Copies of this chain bind each other. A is one copy, B any other.
Amino acid sequence: MDALIDETDARLLRLVQRDARLTAAQLSERLNLSPSACHRRLQRLEASGVIRNTVALLNARAVGRPTTVFVEISLSTQADDVLDAFEAAVARIPDVLECHLMTGSYDYLLKVVARDSEDFATIHRRHLARLPGVAKLQSSFALKTVFNTTALPV
């Protein structure tokens, strides 16, 4: 089930991580391979789960979400059922793009996108502060996102 990734696969992955709309013919030009071989490799990488998904990335500013905030959350307890309830509830907030369980001085780190700081205040009050088990919230605003890529090094 786990696929071995040779150098050709790696080059394919590097390309489609930047632009998933390259055609098999375009990929094949850069790989010294036939289009059908490219296509079959991509099929295999997708079937084996190396490629999780292919998605459109939006311009956050164009859709009115230019503000990124990172929120450190401490829970009142680390009991399993509290963590589960927290995770289930936070997954339902569409403003939260990422949720990580952390080591260290707080329990969860969230990445939140808001329309502006006032909008974040609303999200904070209406959603984040009401999450089950929350003891403490600390928010840090991004003044500017220098870069933000989804391309993993391969």
Contacts and interface: CB of A to CB of B under 8 A. Distances in A.
Copies of this chain per assembly: 2
Interface in A67-124: 68, 70, 87, 90-91, 94-95, 97-104, 108-109, 113
A68 B16 CA distance: 22
A32 interface: no
Interface residues of A, number: 59
Nearest to A99: B146
A26 to B, nearest CB: 14
14 contacts: A13-B56, A16-B56, A17-B55, A19-B53, A49-B59, A52-B59, A58-B152, A60-B152, A63-B154, A70-B102, A87-B146, A98-B145, A99-B145, A102-B142
